Amino acid sequence: MKTTIDFKKLIEYGIKAPSGHNTQPWYFTIEENAIEIHPDFSRALPVVDSDNHALYISLGCAVENIAIAAAKYGLQSGITIKEDKDNKSFIVISFISVDSIQEDELLNYVDKRQSTRNEYSDKKVPKADLNELKNSFEFEGVELITLTGESEINDLEPLILEGSNKQFQNKEFVKELVNWFRFSKAEAEKKGDGLWIKSMGLPNMNRFIGNIVMKYFVSAKSEARRWKKLIDATAGFALFTAAQNDITHWVRLGRAFQRFGLTATKLGISHAHVNMPCEELEVREKLVKKFNLGSSHPLLLIRFGYSETMPYSLRRGVDEVLINKKVEAHG
């Protein structure tokens, strides 16, 4: 007897994936035995992510959540990238029923995973847990470098600070960032997206006050001080690199990062983006040279360690991101 699978339930797992500034730059369609994930370029970040690599990394994270969830229902996922009539790349997740497929334990941590942006403790991550993080994925052309030694972190710190300085000296970057801030719980709940400032350890305020705070109290210098404090309390950094700087590898890197994040959650390890040195091209080149990355492309930098759970950023509902509703179940 076949089990009927509600594809909307799989999409519910997909939308719990992380995205830059929590923009949730996706929409979904349900086809016969498949789910398509399309980029929503109206939610792109043209200043900080001019080539959309972070956008497609986010889509890759959503892909992996769906593939993990599908296994629970005996479905094996096949991932392909196609182009629509406007030459925009989208992702097709096709499903085949397989009796022998095993449920992925990482499914249990999709709801619990979060980007934890507070200050971490100085507790070190055990070697066994580091190894589990390193071995949490296997995707062709994607590599993970963990930086946990004092000298490695000392080498990385000035690149993080340089990237941060460049961004906060750029008025367009600050404008784009503030646009995605949600300064109050009411605003966060109404929008269902963006960076709720309480999840960043800041008090709720209205947008008028929030804009004043950002304009007069947040600067490149204040951010550098804040990041220096965060770096000093970080157990380690995870640098994700891609063999090629293209959409196929961006999606794979997103899938890899999602498995890393879910594995970290399983192990009780917090993580959050520190992506400034990857986003600023000039600094990215220095990152390649400093850590002898050769022809690899460092596209994602994550800090990890131990901290308290923070309030969760909000998500839009499935009905807000599901475009067609013709086929809603697989039997």
Whole-prediction pTM value?
0.95
Residue 171 has pLDDT above 90, yes or no: yes
Q: Do residues 250 and 62 make contact, with C-beta atoms less than 8 angstroms apart?
A: no
How much is the pLDDT for 211?
86
Give me the percent of the chain exceeding a pLDDT of 90: 88
How much is the pLDDT for 331?
47
276 Cβ contact list (under 8 Å, min separation 6): 160, 162, 163, 164, 166, 167, 283, 301
Name all domains of the chain by residue range, CATH numbers in brackets.
5-113+318-330 (3.40.109.30), 127-305 (3.40.109.10)
Least confident among 181-185, 208-212, 234-238, 313-317: 208-212
pLDDT tens-digit readout, 195-246? 999 988 888 888 989 888 888 788 899 999 999 999 999 999 999 999 999 9
How much is the pLDDT for 204?
87
How much is the pLDDT for 4?
64
How much is the pLDDT for 100?
87
pLDDT tens-digit readout, 53-74? 999 999 999 999 999 999 999 9
Residue 271 has, within 13 A of its CA and on its CB side, a CA count of 27
Q: Do residues 14 and 62 make contact, with C-beta atoms less than 8 angstroms apart?
A: yes
Q: Assign 2 a pLDDT band (cuts: 50, 70, 90).
A: very low
More confident residue, 3 or 27: 27
Residue 329 has pLDDT above 50, yes or no: no
